[in-house]
Chains A and B, each alone.
Chain A
Amino acid sequence: MEILYVLIPVSVLLVLAILAVLGWAVNSGQFEDIEQEGLRILQPEGQPDKGNVEPYQD
């Protein structure tokens, strides 16, 4: 039973860490469109034409 003295605090810290990761995922739009990412791999030409973007010059 002594292991619980370690496990309970560890589980609390773990939950807080998971919450941080979840927060990043939600706020960067990872849950906006769940279906489309699975289909992306089946798309014939996945590589967009990188050449059309010139680096920004000031």
Chain B
Amino acid sequence: MTPTILTTTSPTPAPDLTAAQVAGLDDPALLAQCVVEVPVGSSLRRIGLGLSGMYCAACSITIEDAILRVPGVSEVQVQAASQRARILLDPARTKLSAVVAAVQRAGYRAWPDAAARAGNERLLERRKLVWRLSVAAFCMMQIMMVTTMQYVAGPKAIPLDLWNLMNWAGWVLSLPVMLFSCGPFFSGAWRAARQGHIAMDTPVALGIAATFITSTGATFGGQAIFGHEVYFDSLTMFVTFLLGGRWLESRAREKVTQSLESLCVQLPEAVDKVIEADAELADISSSRTESIPISSLRHGDKVRVAVGQVFPADGQILAGQTDVDESLLTGESRAVRRQTGQMVVAGSMNLGSPVWMTVERLGPDTRYQQIVSLVQQAMTEKPGWMRQADRMAGPFLWGVLALAAGSAIAWQFIDSSRSVWVAVSVLVVTCPCALSLAAPSALLAAAGAMAKQGLLVRRLDALEALAHVDQVYFDKTGTLTEGELRVVGLVTFATGAKVSKGLPTDLIERWQKAAALATQSQHPLSRSLVKAAQESGVLQGQSWLDVRELAGKGVEARDSSGASWRLGSRHWVLEGAAAAIDEWSEGVGDARVWLASRTSEGSLLPDSISGYVFDETFRDEARPTISRLTDLGCRTALLSGDQEARVVAAAQHLSPKGELVVAMAHAAPEDKLRVIAEAQSQGHRVAVVGDGINDAPVLAKADVSIALDQGAALAQSQADLIVLGGRLLGVPLAVETARRAMRVVKQNLAWAALYNLSCIPLALMGLLPPWLAGLGMALSSLGVVLNALRLGAFHS
């Protein structure tokens, strides 16, 4: 095998950094934010870098090599799983922009990871958890080795001193588990106790402590009080299961955090600030500017934002008008017109022409940053079932303690030598291992299975609601349709008003020309033209001379033969055309982009004219999604802000048999809310699938909210479930998986409750020897976990 196989699909190099991006990256304040670690006694810094565009583990090696070639970099670690790099560099000899540029040249995207320190802390925490888990698991295995002999042979076949040696071995091996692995349970219980609460950790910690103390007593000669039985095996097994669950949960959480974080990143840029002396000029557009890093921008500053730059802050436009790409915030992929006096938001991109603005909100106050912090806050929230379990644990624990104390007192009168023994066996038998594992293990296994199918579960308790959903509302634009417009056909003067279906082969040359010229422009429609050409494989590189992009008009250039070409709005491209052409082109209203060539004298060549028609396209998976949801017994409905006729046409297109109902067209966000509230008041459980920012309140109202990952960050930060890659079929799959998960939860709860309820009376009566209680405890936990794992093994 030749090594090149690994790199054949290497992505094309990303565009070079602009001067403003370089200046923004080299801001020392930014570098300081990215520092993860400062090695003692050296001027080197270890910094964090976020990466994207990696598709396999081999990419990380390519990136490592690229970064290592930058002078001044002495160490690189790239983690494919977390899409992060940690770099040891000398700030005196290299700049952040050099590193980012090196990664971009290798064909990937990189950005300074300002949250690197938080990420580093999460990493260290995760490592510690793995370490605790592996200590518990290893000790458990070794204790099992020893106790198996005791189980198989029984006390009579083994000499007493050897029996004791085995118990001692178990005790020594469970010490690391008690002292190190159980740390989180004890500290959680202690924290709760100091605040006067009882947490889910409390019964667990008490159970662990009680089991360990009795077993220790029995091992070291206290048999008269503690009985003869030791439970080091069930103790370590219980701890291993609990830690395993926590580890799985933290991994699932980390995955979600990363996918959301990578949505919210952008390269920082330097800002062109209007210098003080000119700030009060009546005509701001004639003022002079200086380039400053974004960190030294202040409230009230006036800045100039060039075409292709990202707005550095929320603020008002002072002069100029432009088209703004706000897709990050609203999911609306079409550019929005903004003019003097209107607000622009940080994080959106200036596509049209340069504008001047005053800074009104900066950094943490901007809407963009608020979204980012919303996302981060959602990550740290405790799942609802955990809060509920904490509330229920209080009365439960008091009950258990009362039972144990009561039985100890009662047995004082019956047989005082057995009273502690019985109290302990009550504590052991009621230790709610199986109960506390029943729901989380099933929900986690389901979330894991869903993650493999491209579904990220943000709130585990949403799975419960999802299992009962009977109505699913879809947004149309961006949800059932692709987010971007697509070229669906073209017209020429020769074909008249008739729009070709698709892209006819006899016009391929025209079409190639348009795509080649479109590569010179950043406009969303140009990008979509280029994408379509790439997909059908007709895109050819062409060299252009004198390329000019004019805001709101289009792009103009000369090709190698010297002919001048224009691509852009009808008005501009067909400027000075004959009346017949003008009339004809007016009639083809659907054509949004035009292409034409001119002679050197500037007169239009009628034969070179072509117009490109764009339309939204439905996702391939939209139709099967509707029919599968119908099969599952869910009513599907469209809830759209678009015009009635288009929504009805979409419903007919997607469901020939009429399963997809039009709930409401031309709906404002309040109307959507009202529809959802009405359905809920009729007792329906409602799921909403959406993507844009105006879906955010509707998503919050629904019982279960599902967002597509191509949508607005705000919509996603409020959603319970995120569907990756726009794979709509994930929605019915999620409903199915959630239903099965809830079945498993019910089985688990029934089994755990049955076990606890049937064993408590036996233990109270002194009929349950503690070894049997311990075995029962371990087996019931194991049963619950294995039952839950069935969910993960499922593949559709």
Q: A residues engaging B (CB < 8 A)?
A: 1, 4-5, 8-9, 11-12, 15-16, 18-19, 22-23, 26-27, 29, 31-33, 35-36, 38-40, 42-45, 48-49, 52-54, 56, 58
| Nearest CB on A from B453, distance (A) | 20
User: Could you say which residues of chain A place their CB within 8 Å of the CB of B93?
Assistant: 54
User: Could you say which residues of chain A place their CB within 8 Å of the CB of B169?
Assistant: 8-9, 11-12
User: Could you say which residues of chain A place their CB within 8 Å of the CB of B166?
Assistant: 8
User: Could you say which residues of chain A place their CB within 8 Å of the CB of B187?
Assistant: none
Q: Would B127 and A36 count as touching, CB distance under 8 A? A: no
Q: Would A5 and B162 count as touching, CB distance under 8 A? A: yes
User: Do A43 and B77 contact each other (CB < 8 Å), given the known contacts A22-B138, A26-B131, A36-B61?
Assistant: no
Q: Would B81 and A18 count as touching, CB distance under 8 A? A: no
User: Do A29 and B127 contact each other (CB < 8 Å), given the known contacts A36-B57, A48-B65?
Assistant: yes
User: Could you say which residues of chain B place their CB within 8 Å of the CB of A19?
Assistant: 134-135, 138-139, 176
Any A CB within 8 A of the CB of B173: yes
Q: Would B134 and A56 count as touching, CB distance under 8 A? A: no
Q: Shortest 8 CB-CB distances between A and B: which pairs?
A: A35-B57, A36-B57, A48-B68, A39-B58, A44-B3, A52-B71, A15-B142, A53-B74
Q: B residues engaging A (CB < 8 A)?
A: 1, 3-4, 6-7, 42-44, 56-58, 60-62, 64-65, 68-74, 77-82, 90, 93, 123, 127, 130-131, 134-135, 138-139, 142, 145-146, 159, 162, 165-166, 169, 172-173, 176
| Cβ-defined partner of B145 (8 Å) among A11, A16, A22, A43 | A11
Q: Would B61 and A43 count as touching, CB distance under 8 A? A: yes
Known A27-B127, A43-B3; 9 more pairs at CB < 8 Å: A11-B145, A22-B138, A23-B131, A26-B130, A33-B57, A33-B79, A36-B58, A52-B68, A53-B73
Q: Would B72 and A44 count as touching, CB distance under 8 A? A: no
| Cβ-defined partner of A35 (8 Å) among B62, B80, B135, B162 | B80
Q: Would B165 and A15 count as touching, CB distance under 8 A? A: no
Q: Would B43 and A43 count as touching, CB distance under 8 A? A: no
User: Could you say which residues of chain A place their CB within 8 Å of the CB of B6?
Assistant: 39, 42-43
| Nearest CB on B from A38, distance (A) | 8
| Cβ-defined partner of A56 (8 Å) among B44, B60, B82 | B44
| Nearest CB on A from B258, distance (A) | 13
User: Could you say which residues of chain B place their CB within 8 Å of the CB of A56?
Assistant: 42-44, 90
| Nearest CB on B from A8, distance (A) | 5
Q: Would B173 and A52 count as touching, CB distance under 8 A? A: no
User: Could you say which residues of chain A place their CB within 8 Å of the CB of B130?
Assistant: 26, 31
| Cβ-defined partner of B146 (8 Å) among A8, A33, A39 | A8
User: Could you say which residues of chain B place their CB within 8 Å of the CB of A44?
Assistant: 3-4, 7
Chain A, Cβ-Cβ closest to B69: A49
Q: How far is the CA of A51 from the CA of B6 in the complex (A)?
A: 27
Chain B, Cβ-Cβ closest to A37: B57
| Nearest CB on A from B355, distance (A) | 42
Q: How far is the CA of A14 from the CA of B127 in the complex (A)?
A: 23
| Nearest CB on B from A45, distance (A) | 7
| Nearest CB on A from B760, distance (A) | 35
Q: How far is the CA of A47 from the CA of B76 in the complex (A)?
A: 13
User: Could you say which residues of chain B place their CB within 8 Å of the CB of A54?
Assistant: 93
| Nearest CB on B from A55, distance (A) | 10
Q: How far is the CA of A39 from the CA of B771 in the complex (A)?
A: 49
| Cβ-defined partner of A4 (8 Å) among B42, B43, B79, B162 | B162
Chain A, Cβ-Cβ closest to B126: A32
Chain A, Cβ-Cβ closest to B149: A4
Q: How far is the CA of A44 from the CA of B62 in the complex (A)?
A: 10
Q: Would B3 and A32 count as touching, CB distance under 8 A? A: no
User: Could you say which residues of chain B place their CB within 8 Å of the CB of A5?
Assistant: 162, 165
Q: Would B134 and A26 count as touching, CB distance under 8 A? A: yes
User: Could you say which residues of chain B place their CB within 8 Å of the CB of A58?
Assistant: 43
| Nearest CB on B from A10, distance (A) | 10
User: Could you say which residues of chain A place their CB within 8 Å of the CB of B123?
Assistant: 32
Q: List 27 A-B contacts (CB under 8 A).
A: A5-B162, A11-B145, A12-B173, A15-B138, A19-B134, A19-B138, A22-B134, A22-B135, A27-B131, A29-B77, A29-B127, A31-B130, A32-B123, A33-B60, A35-B56, A35-B80, A36-B61, A36-B80, A39-B57, A42-B6, A43-B58, A48-B68, A52-B68, A52-B69, A52-B70, A53-B72, A58-B43
Chain B, Cβ-Cβ closest to A56: B42
Q: How far is the CA of A42 from the CA of B64 in the complex (A)?
A: 15
| Nearest CB on A from B626, distance (A) | 38
Q: Would B65 and A36 count as touching, CB distance under 8 A? A: no
| Nearest CB on A from B144, distance (A) | 12
Chain A, Cβ-Cβ closest to B88: A53
| Cβ-defined partner of A12 (8 Å) among B1, B135, B142 | B142
Chain B, Cβ-Cβ closest to A45: B65
| Cβ-defined partner of B162 (8 Å) among A1, A36, A39 | A1
Q: How far is the CA of A36 from the CA of B64 in the complex (A)?
A: 11
Chain B, Cβ-Cβ closest to A31: B130
User: Could you say which residues of chain B place their CB within 8 Å of the CB of A16?
Assistant: 176
Q: Would A32 and B79 count as touching, CB distance under 8 A? A: yes
Chain B, Cβ-Cβ closest to A51: B71
User: Could you say which residues of chain A place their CB within 8 Å of the CB of B1?
Assistant: 42
Q: How far is the CA of A44 from the CA of B135 in the complex (A)?
A: 39
Q: How far is the CA of A54 from the CA of B93 in the complex (A)?
A: 10
Among B42, B69, B81, B131, the most chain A Cβ lie within 10 Å of the Cβ of: B131
Q: Would A48 and B131 count as touching, CB distance under 8 A? A: no
Q: How far is the CA of A45 from the CA of B65 in the complex (A)?
A: 9
| Nearest CB on A from B174, distance (A) | 11
Q: How far is the CA of A23 from the CA of B142 in the complex (A)?
A: 17
Q: How far is the CA of A49 from the CA of B605 in the complex (A)?
A: 56
User: Do A26 and B127 contact each other (CB < 8 Å), given the known contacts A18-B138, A32-B79, A35-B80?
Assistant: yes
| Cβ-defined partner of B172 (8 Å) among A1, A12, A26 | A12
Chain B, Cβ-Cβ closest to A1: B162
Q: Would B81 and A32 count as touching, CB distance under 8 A? A: yes
Q: How far is the CA of A23 from the CA of B136 in the complex (A)?
A: 12
| Cβ-defined partner of A15 (8 Å) among B62, B68, B173 | B173
Q: Would B80 and A33 count as touching, CB distance under 8 A? A: yes
